[in-house]
Amino acid sequence: MKDAERDADETLRSGPYELVMSERRLTCDGRPIELSAQLLRLLAVLMRREGRVVARQNLKDALWPGLDRIDTERRLNTAMRGLRKALGEDAGRPPRPETVRGRGYRWNPPAPARRIPAPRRWAAAACLMAVAASSAPQHLRPAFDTAPVDGDFLRARAAADADPAQAAAARDALLGRSPAHAPALILRAELAVRAWREAPTAANLNAARRLLAVARAATGDHPGLEAPAGELAMFADWDLSEAERRYARALAHDSTSAEAHRGLAWVYVNSGRFSEARREVDLLLAETPLTPALRADVGWLLLRLGRPDEAATLCEVANSDHLNLLACRHTARARLGDMSSARLAAAEFMAALDAPRDAVAAVRTGSPEDGYRSFLTWRTRGFFPADGHWFHKAQLYAEAGRVDDALASLERAVEARDPDLIKLASTREFAALRNDPRFAAVKSAVGLDRG
């Protein structure tokens, strides 16, 4: 059986580690460890061959099948560093996974973790939390039981925006002390929704819905759950009216909620209510500290509102390798007709993705217009995996003038219930498709032809 075919129901165990593929969940001695979907797949391949060497090529084939145009050598090195950092390295033992020079990597069967009596375990957690709190800015400090519930929630949310790993650690420590701790349950549900948006698989969606329901049952339908519920209503159910209701309720509870303002802006843009969307964008720009992810999202909203000049300025962050910021930047510059800057931003985007050097050189040399066209050609060939991301593939095909490929990808997006299909009507690249019956059928399937 291929590795990808096992993911639906396989549970892997090695020493104190348990990896439940259907839930994308890793625990060590019962304690959760946060890993991205890609790192979970990497770990699964190694754990299935416990004690045996796995060749680098086998790992690359498992993680990036068919992506021979992208530098998977560097990607694998980055992934392995991320996995080791997340797992930690025990003193006196080789790091897991172990490098077998010239051959590949081996997952060493770890000894069971030494269990600490419960009182000492919680004391250790409290000590770690205190250290983290003393060194972090006030608005990023993890929540404690001594603070009011709403204060806990707001601090945990701030940590989620600035540093998801720190937020996950705060959440786990809170749940360790009190399994019914409302802010931690809310944060867990929110991070699950974010994980699904980053990797929109059925398993991740089911996990997000389940954890949202658990949090709702435990907290008495706390209004802090409304923003993640709005995210599911808009992107999973394609229900803009329900999403608007959820975000409005979130703002009634907390008028400063960046997630609710951002969500409402997308509701309004996708509904064609551009003046209301602009109002929400202005509120975000005036009142919210912009993380790289939020800055990029607001940049894309500005592009949909026809303001590439503002988007270009907003996404022009020096020395940033945030992919969505780089993508926003080159798109905004191209729409402004500044092809020289668009080409340079596109080359930075490719370099951040470890694109082959000759492909990057083709973008950087020659005329700005030819360089940017080379980027668009490379992007349709090597940016996304063979299966999935159908909506974004359709965008790329449409921008490159490949109408039939764009329509076919949109139809595949409907079959896969791609969450970003809700953005269909506001996506400028599809302007040339709007009179095609196949495009109308896709719009109808998403429910964007109502009203």
| CATH number, domain containing residue 360 | 1.25.40
Among candidate residues 300, 276, 312, 267, the one with its CA nearest the CA of residue 395: 300
Q: Report yes or no on 254 lying in a domain.
A: no
Predicted pLDDT at 159: 54
Contacts 24+ apart (CB under 8 A), 248-252: 249/223, 250/223, 250/224, 250/226, 252/223
Q: Which residues have CB under 8 Å from 24's CB, separation 6+?
A: 37, 40, 195, 203, 204, 207
Domain with 51 in it:
3-106
**Report field, pTM of the whole predicted structure over 0.85:** no
Is residue 229 domain-resident?
no
Which token pair is 72? 């998977």
The pairing of strands 11-14 and 17-20 is antiparallel
What's at 278, amino acid-wise? R
For residues 372 and 381, give the distance between their C-alpha atoms in angstroms, rounded to a whole number.
Answer: 15
Which residue type, as a one-letter code, is found at position 377? T
pLDDT of residue 311: 94
Structure tokens at 203: 């398993």
Specify the pLDDT at position 240: 94
The rounded distance, in Å, linking the Cα atoms of 348 and 343 is 9
Residues 322, 392, single domain; the answer is no
* 333 and 396 both lie in a single domain: no
Residues 427 and 350 reside in one and the same domain:
no
Q: Tokens 């209004």 sit at which residue?
A: 223
Specify whether 321 is located in the same domain as 415: no
Domain for residue 123, yes or no?
no
Say whether both 78 and 13 belong to one domain.
yes
410 and 337 belong to one structural domain: no
Contacts of 378 (CB under 8 A, 6+ apart): 69, 350, 355, 359, 362, 363
Within a domain: residue 395? yes
Total number of domains constituting the chain = 3
431 burial via Cβ count (<10 Å: 0-12, 13-18, 19+): exposed
pLDDT value at residue 10:
78
Last residue of a domain, which of 347, 370, 393?
370
Cα separation of 54 and 323, whole Å? 30
For residue 78, the domain's CATH number is 1.10.10.10
Please identify, among 67, 84, 106, the residue that sits at the C-terminal boundary of a domain. Answer: 106
Q: Are residues 345 and 431 in the same domain?
A: no
Q: Does a structural domain hold residue 444?
A: yes
For 290, the token pair is 């912009």
Angle between helices 323-335 and 339-352 (to 10 degrees): 160
Biggest CA pair distance of the chain: 68
Is 369:361 a contact under the CB 8 Å cutoff?
A: no
- For residue 263, the one-letter residue type is G
pLDDT digits (tens, 9 = 90+) for 346-370: 998 888 877 888 989 999 988 999 9
Flag whether 89 is in a domain.
yes
Note the pLDDT of residue 69: 46
Rounded-to-integer distance, Cα 218 and Cα 223, Å: 13
Decide if 246 is inside a domain: no
Is 245 a member of any domain? no
Listing from the earlier edge strand, what are the strands of the sheet with 98-100?
53-55, 104-106, 98-100
For each successive 10 residues of the chain (451 residues), what is the average pLDDT? Answer: 51 84 80 80 87 83 65 75 73 62 76 39 29 31 34 52 60 68 81 84 90 88 90 94 95 88 95 94 85 90 94 83 87 94 91 86 90 87 69 88 92 92 90 92 85 50
Domain termination residue (choose one: 370, 399, 425): 370
The string of DSSP letters for 349-364 reads: HHHHTT--HHHHHHHH
Does residue 415 share a domain with residue 347?
no
Q: Which residues contact 403 (CB under 8 A, 6 or more apart)?
A: 397, 432, 433, 436
pLDDT in tens, 15-32: 788 888 877 788 887 788
